[in-house]
């Protein structure tokens, strides 16, 4: 099984993988705030000197208090590269140290430190020759949808028509991130950059949703009928460690070999996402 990150990062909350030597901390200013769900929001930062990134990569953010205490965490890049703008989407963990501050307290103009981009394996660039014509399967648990949406955005921007499906597991309707955007992406599957989207609610479904609430099952990752072949050439799985393990077991049952699966783990083992 190929894997890029640790089970939940280090004690400081950032990914275990050491950033390459050339990556250093840069000062960033908060220039945009956008709510994504009841308990998450996207923060856009201006990072002078930022040299770009790939969909799927992440950054480390460092907050420093007036008394010098600092804490850092890793966050996936939430938008494809565009000049010095860097965006992350943060889901609030009620008793967390850093995420409540990022989601509830930071204000436009505030400063923090950013280091990145980090990671070179959990990435998908449109036109990637190792994927060829696809298809590509994206599987997200909770906030694990963030890097996968960045991949979808990059693909749409490039007009890439690789057959693609996002399977997004979440607890209930109020946890849905990027709802309108995902609806638009899947509205017309003949449009360039469109993608099939399957929402898998694990606890509570919105009115009229055809699938009852339950954990991700093998049927949820069955290929759409329009796919040219039954197995995706590449699968990206992102979420808590427990979710990634569960999804990987299902992929193995469905016949996927390890070399088609790339994973990114956000949280500690067994987190209920
Ligand atoms: C490579 C990478 C990319 C990431 N990208 C994102 C992202 O795009 N958006 C995002 O919201 N988060 C992302 N994370 C998770 C993020 O780094 C933090 O772990 C998260 O925001 C919690 O930080 P905290 O300080 O609020 O909680 P902490 O104070 O670190 O933890 C509080 C409690 O919650 C538990 N916990 C920590 N992280 C998680 C988790 N992810 N799920 C469930 N329980 C957890 C801890 O064990 C602890 O009990 C990513 C993590 C990694 C390693």
Segments making up each domain of the chain, as ranges: 25-118, 129-265
Q: For ligand 1, what atom is nearest to the CA of residue 99? A: 26
For each of the chain's 273 residues, which pLDDT tens digit applies? Answer: 333 333 333 444 455 455 555 589 999 999 999 999 999 999 999 999 999 999 999 999 999 999 999 999 999 999 999 999 999 999 999 999 999 999 999 999 999 999 999 999 999 998 899 999 999 999 999 999 999 999 999 999 999 989 999 999 999 999 999 999 999 999 998 898 999 999 999 999 999 999 999 999 999 999 999 898 899 999 999 999 999 999 999 999 999 999 999 999 997 533 333
Based on the number of CB atoms within 10 Å of its own CB, is 191 exposed (0-12), middle (13-18) or buried (19 or more)? middle
Ligand 1 mutation pick, 16, 266, 273, max ligand atoms within 8 A of CB: 266
Which numbered atom of ligand 1 lies nearest the CA of 100? 26
Nearest CA to ligand 1 atom 42: 267
- The arrangement of secondary structure in 129-265, i.e. its CATH architecture, is 3-Layer(aba) Sandwich (3.40)
**207 within 8 A of 111, measured Cβ to Cβ:** no
Question: In CATH, what number does 25-118 get?
Answer: 2.40.30.10
d(CA 183, CA 206): 14
The answer, yes or no, to whether any atom of ligand 1 lies below 6 A from the CB of 243, is no
CA dist 129 to 59, 122, 160, 162, Å?
26, 15, 13, 12
Q: What is the pLDDT of residues 27-47, one digit of tens each?
A: 999 999 999 999 999 999 999
Helix (H) or strand (E) holding 246: helix 241-253
Cα distance between residue 157 and residue 146, in whole Å: 17
């Amino acid at each position: 099984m190929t894997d890029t990150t640790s089970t939940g990062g280090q004690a400081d909350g950032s990914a275990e993988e050491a950033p390459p030597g050339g990556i250093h901390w840069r000062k960033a200013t908060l220039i945009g705030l956008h709510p994504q769900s009841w308990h998450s929001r996207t923060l856009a930062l201006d990072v002078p000197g930022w040299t770009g990134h790939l969909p799927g990569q992440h950054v480390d953010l460092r907050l420093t208090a007036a008394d010098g205490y600092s804490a850092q965490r890793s966050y996936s890049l939430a938008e494809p590269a565009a000049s010095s703008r860097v965006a992350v989407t943060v889901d609030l963990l009620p008793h967390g140290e850093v995420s409540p501050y990022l989601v509830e307290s930071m204000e436009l103009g505030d400063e923090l430190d950013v280091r990145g981009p980090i990671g070179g394996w959990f990435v998908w660039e449109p036109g990637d020759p190792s994927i060829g014509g696809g298809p590509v399967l994206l599987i997200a648990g909770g906030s694990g949808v963030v890097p996968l949406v960045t991949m979808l955005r990059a693909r749409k921007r490039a007009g890439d028509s690789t057959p693609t499906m996002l399977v997004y597991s979440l607890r209930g309707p109020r946890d849905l991130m990027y709802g309108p955007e995902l609806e638009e992406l899947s509205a017309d599957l003949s449009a360039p950059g469109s993608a099939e989207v399957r929402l898998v609610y694990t606890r509570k479904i919105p009115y009229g949703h055809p699938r009852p609430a339950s954990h991700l099952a093998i049927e949820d990752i069955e290929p759409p009928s329009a796919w040219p072949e039954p197995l995706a050439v590449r699968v990206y799985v992102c979420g808590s460690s427990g979710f990634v393990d569960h999804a990987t077991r299902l992929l193995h049952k469905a016949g996927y070999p390890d070399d088609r699966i790339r994973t990114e783990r956000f949280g500690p083992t067994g987190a209920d996402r």
